[in-house]
């Protein structure tokens, strides 16, 4: 059995700014530099050189504006060294149950606030627009829902903590897509399921009354009765253990690593876990590079330019 290649933390891109920039250029510009503003290719791009010119600076002959590989990405205008960004992305993708911002701050030597913001920017990279629905002919999609949040019996005082509903679609031996939903009912779940799961697939769910009519729209629909302690049947074909395993891993991360998350940021955490599990067949290094390759067009700002004091 071939073992996955081990990560080389001595890689220069994790310690040197020029090596980190060159690695990011290879990931984001596989065919040469591209202007982030007018999107022209390398034939209209000039690399700027000179004693006072910072490394990695290019100029576009069309819009006549300078740029680097970080312009238009989640790294734009960050004062944190780029090599630390790459290392943070690697840690995020190789930590099966996630990594806390406090742990990242200790490992990178940055403040907790900086580490928290870095991870949330990188989670934006994990939000990948789907190229199509999961599954297809002879494929199986498992669907289930769970609730995220504290238990009332564990709270010493005050009102019971609010629960947040999450529905997940898992393709066996394939990708994962999970969503925070307001209600767990057919009206809410059906648009999500029929959009993100190919109707040529075989649908697997539990005994919930939400799914029977939905199942009629697919190639087949199998259910297991968890309330009767039934978890698998038909020789192991009918089960929802894959999506249950995803929820188990998600909760171990949310409760054991992050402890508490807000409803506003829950979709980003779901995107992180979805991306990691959807790319589980890649090595840690490949998974980290896959995350960084989605950094374009996702600059994250909590204060919009028109809200600043300078106007």
Closest CA to 29 of 13, 45, 50: 45
Q: Does pLDDT of 276 surpass 60?
A: yes
In-domain check, residue 167: yes
Q: Does pLDDT of 310 surpass 50?
A: no
Do 110 and 88 belong together in one domain?
yes
- Across the range 274-287, mean pLDDT stands at 95
Do 50 and 163 belong together in one domain?
no
| Per-residue burial over 126-148, b = 16 or more CB atoms within 10 Å of its CB, e = otherwise | bebeeeebbbbeebbbbbbbbeb
In-domain check, residue 309: no
Q: Does pLDDT of 2 surpass 80?
A: no
Do 249 and 225 belong together in one domain?
yes
In-domain check, residue 279: no
In-domain check, residue 6: no
Per-residue model confidence (pLDDT) at position 219: 96
CA 20 to chain centre: 22
Kindly report which listed range (71-75, 257-261, 298-302, 307-311) carries the lowest average pLDDT score: 307-311
| Dist. CA 269–CA 273, nearest whole Å | 6
Residue pLDDT, tens place only, 184-222: 999 999 999 999 999 999 999 999 999 999 999 999 999
In-domain check, residue 5: no
Per-residue model confidence (pLDDT) at position 228: 87
Q: Does pLDDT of 159 surpass 50?
A: yes
Domain membership of residue 110 as a residue range: 12-128+294-300
Q: Does pLDDT of 308 surpass 60?
A: no
* pTM exceeds 0.85: yes
Residue pLDDT, tens place only, 37-67: 999 988 899 999 888 888 999 999 999 999 9
More confident position, 236 or 113: 113
Do 144 and 253 belong together in one domain?
yes
Residue 39 CB partners (closer than 8 Å, separation 6+): none
Residue 306 CB partners (closer than 8 Å, separation 6+): none
Residue pLDDT, tens place only, 101-122: 999 999 999 999 999 999 999 9
Q: ∠ CA(121), CA(126), CA(132), 5° rounding?
A: 145
Beta bridge pairs of residue 170 = 142, 176
Do 97 and 22 belong together in one domain?
yes
- Across the range 148-163, mean pLDDT stands at 72
* Domain count within the chain: 2
- Starting at the earlier edge strand, list the strands of the sheet with 202-206: 176-181, 164-171, 140-148, 202-206, 220-224
More confident position, 253 or 160: 253
Polymer length in residues for the chain: 311
Average pLDDT score, the chain: 90
Do 94 and 171 belong together in one domain?
no
Do 17 and 115 belong together in one domain?
yes
In-domain check, residue 289: no
In-domain check, residue 275: no
Could you tell me the CATH number of the domain that includes residue 215? 3.30.420
Direct distance between the N- and C-terminal alpha carbons of the chain, in angstroms, rounded to an integer: 60
The maximal CA–CA distance of the chain, rounded, in angstroms, is 74
| Dist. CA 301–CA 171, nearest whole Å | 34
- Across the range 76-105, mean pLDDT stands at 96
């Amino acid at each position: 059995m071939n073992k996955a290649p081990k990560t080389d933390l001595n890689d220069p891109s994790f310690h040197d700014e020029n090596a980190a920039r060159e690695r990011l250029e290879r990931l984001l510009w596989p065919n040469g530099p591209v202007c982030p503003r007018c999107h022209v290719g390398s034939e209209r791009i000039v690399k700027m050189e000179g004693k006072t010119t910072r490394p990695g600076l290019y100029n576009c002959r069309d819009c006549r504006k300078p740029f680097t590989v970080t312009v238009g990405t989640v790294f734009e205008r960050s004062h944190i060294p780029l090599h630390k960004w790459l290392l943070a992305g690697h840690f995020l993708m190789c930590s099966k149950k996630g990594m806390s911002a406090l742990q990242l701050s200790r490992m990178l030597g940055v403040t907790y606030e900086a580490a928290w913001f870095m991870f949330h920017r990188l989670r934006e990279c994990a939000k990948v627009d789907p190229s199509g629905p999961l599954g297809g002919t002879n494929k199986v999609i498992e669907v289930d829902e769970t609730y995220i949040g504290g238990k009332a019996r564990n709270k010493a005082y005050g009102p019971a903590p609010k629960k947040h509903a999450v529905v997940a679609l898992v393709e066996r031996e394939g990708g994962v897509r999970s969503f925070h939903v307001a209600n767990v009912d057919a009206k809410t779940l059906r648009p999500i399921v029929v959009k993100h799961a190919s109707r040529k697939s075989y649908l697997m769910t539990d005994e919930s009354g939400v799914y029977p009519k939905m199942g009629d729209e697919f190639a087949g629909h199998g259910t297991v009765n968890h309330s009767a302690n039934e978890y698998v049947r038909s020789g192991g074909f009918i089960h929802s253990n894959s999506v249950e395993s995803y929820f188990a891993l998600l909760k171990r991360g949310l409760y054991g690593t992050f402890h508490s998350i807000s409803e506003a940021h829950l979709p980003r955490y779901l995107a992180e876990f979805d991306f990691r599990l959807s790319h589980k067949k890649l090595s840690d290094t490949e998974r980290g590079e896959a995350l960084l390759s989605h950094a374009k067009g996702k600059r994250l700002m909590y204060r919009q330019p028109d809200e600043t004091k300078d106007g």
